[in-house]
Amino acid sequence: MTAPTAAGAGSWLSDKAIAPGDRLIVALDVPTAAEALELVDLLGGHGSFYKIGMELLAGGDFFPLLRTLHERGKKVFVDLKFFDVPATVASAVRGMARHPATFCTIHGNDGMVRAAVANKGHLKLLAVTALTSLDRHDLDEMGFACEPRDLVLSRARAALAAGCDGVVSSGLEAADLRAELGPRLLVVCPGIRPVLNDDDQKRTVDVRQAFLNGADHIVVGRPIREAADPRAACAAIQSTIVGLFDRAGTAP
């Protein structure tokens, strides 16, 4: 991983041995497995890693879809943000470890995180820092009274100390994470907007900047799903990723 110079050259571009195609995680934030698989089929070889979360869980299609994606050779990011007393978090993570997921999100204090880490099995645990839909005003309303950057760094330090594999963070804070914590943590960045957006995501960056700031993976949902041509939108993002990592010589 190359640190930026004082003149701004260079970057925090990840040098982890991750296939370029796996650096993009496509968010399947839809209510049914049928809709999710329709998008998976449409994207074809341009999508190898998918996120599934609470919407599919509430609709009842979560675990059947997880198994189907695994059977199709796709990687799965389980985004359920487990948050409860440590014993319950431990049981939930232990149960999730019986399924073929790659990443799993958790939330909460040190006790909750350590309970999850002790039961993660093959899962890579990602601690949620601050949602990309939150800005300073939102954090003030929630009683944190701090800048998003400060909350992200505080939670990331605690996650690393507790044994987490990585964090979920806006790309805006990724460079600060790398500067302070180095390459050890996986940094997964949602809120990626290839163009100017007017939705509920407030702390956003584009694809290129997220990776230059130190992201290992990016999570992209609406800019792909709602594009006039989702396959072309996904292919364009993958092309940007390949260009970045091929030039840097970090592609496996």
Give, as one character, the DSSP assignment of residue 101: -
State yes or no: is 81 an active-site residue: yes
Q: In this structure, what token pair is assigned to residue 221? A: 């949902």
CB of 170 closer than 8 Å to CB of 189: yes
Q: How many CB atoms lie within 10 A of CB 143?
A: 6
Distance (Å) of CA 113 to CA 38, 108, 244: 35, 7, 33
CB of 213 closer than 8 Å to CB of 13: no
Number of H helices and number of E strands within the chain?
11, 8
Q: Which of 81, 120, 124, 202 is catalytic?
A: 81
Radius of gyration of the chain (CA): 17
CB of 166 closer than 8 Å to CB of 126: yes
Q: What is the chain's percent helix, strand, coil content, to nearest 5?
A: 45, 15, 40
The catalytic residues are 81
